[in-house]
Amino acid sequence: MLNFDNVNFKYKGDDFYTIRNLSFSVLDGEFISIIGASGCGKSTIFRLINSLEKPESGSITIDSIPIHKIKNYSSYMPQKDLLYPWRTIKKNICLPMEMQNKTKKEMEEQSEKMLKEVGLLEYKNKYPRDLSGGMRQRVSFVRAILTGANLLLLDEPFSALDSITKIALREWLLSEWQKYKKTVLFITHDVEEAIFLSQKVFVVTTQPLTHFEEYEIPLNYPRDRNCLNTSNILQLKEELIVKLRQEN
């Protein structure tokens, strides 16, 4: 579904490469987490996928089509929800549909349906300031879904939340992923979060970023927090933590 082929990239003004000869693939419908030290190139991957930056060489394709030839192929959800404070919750999630020139009736039906699904229908006429951090992140996720893109790029969306809210939203995110069958790339610094959510974890161990070390997560879906306490998962968690410490 997503493919990087020998991608090279460095930021303007830098005399070093952030990414060097990077190749990897993501299959349709996969949930993959990317972990690594700060500044290792994780967010640069997202900027390249979104065409906010262009590779010096190499290719990035979606379903074998170069990304510069297609539109609306990915949706980005950052750490901060970036909801417009002057728009109601309902009008915030209608924004991507407005950009797609959906009719007023279509937007009304879709927004009501999605807000009901995520348990926020009663807040549709409220403003972002009236909602908790976890509720705003759910609204942000709905807005990302309504772009219609099949590839979701989630950049530490839960890092600013308290631990209890994080736990609840991780479980909620998995249920939504299984429902909508989107392809997800998820950046996190939290090893346990990566293990709980993902089918695979990509670990950045080199600078510049030349490849990922891939770890298959030996857990089936659906998942709950109890699965994190099995011996093989605890061993995997420790292995990943040691790997990351070596790179810091």
In the chain, beta strands by DSSP E:
2-9, 19-26, 31-35, 57-62, 65-66, 74-77, 151-155, 183-187, 200-204, 212-216
CATH for 175: 3.40.50.300
- Tell whether 101 is covered by a domain: no
Q: What secondary structure, in 3-state letters, does 155-182 show?
A: ECCCCCCCHHHHHHHHHHHHHHHHHHCC
Which pLDDT does position 247 carry in this prediction? Answer: 62
For residue 107, is it left (φ>0), alpha (ψ between -120 and 50) or beta? alpha
**How do the pLDDT tens digits run along the chain, 248 residues long?**
999 999 999 999 888 999 999 999 999 999 999 998 877 889 999 999 999 999 999 999 999 999 999 988 999 888 888 899 999 999 999 999 998 889 999 999 999 998 988 889 999 999 999 999 889 988 998 898 888 889 999 998 888 788 888 888 899 889 889 988 899 999 998 999 999 999 999 999 888 999 999 999 999 998 888 999 999 999 999 999 998 887 65
* Domain coverage including residue 184: 6-73+170-248
Which pLDDT does position 219 carry in this prediction? Answer: 93
- Tell whether 90 is covered by a domain: no
Contact status, residue 73 vs residue 152, Cβ threshold 8 Å: no
Q: What is the Cα–Cα distance from 81 to 62, expressed in whole angstroms?
A: 26
- Tell whether 199 is covered by a domain: yes
Half-sphere exposure of 204 (CA within 13 A, CB side): 25
The SS3 assignment for 106 reads: helix
Which pLDDT does position 248 carry in this prediction? Answer: 58
- Measured CA to CA in angstroms, residue 7 lies from 52, 152, 153, 205 at distances of 15, 21, 19, 17
- Tell whether 114 is covered by a domain: no
Domain count, the chain: 1
Half-sphere exposure of 128 (CA within 13 A, CB side): 17
The SS3 assignment for 128 reads: helix
- Tell whether 236 is covered by a domain: yes
- Tell whether 107 is covered by a domain: no
The SS3 assignment for 96 reads: helix
Which pLDDT does position 18 carry in this prediction? Answer: 94
Q: What is the Cα–Cα distance from 106 to 146, expressed in whole angstroms?
A: 12
- Tell whether 85 is covered by a domain: no
Structure tokens at 207: 């600078």
- Tell whether 138 is covered by a domain: no
Q: What is the Cα–Cα distance from 162 to 158, expressed in whole angstroms?
A: 9
Which pLDDT does position 78 carry in this prediction? Answer: 80
Q: Are strands 19-26 and 2-9 parallel, antiparallel or unpaired?
A: antiparallel
Cβ partners under 8 Å of residue 1, min gap 6: 25, 26, 27, 28, 29, 30, 62, 63, 150, 151, 183
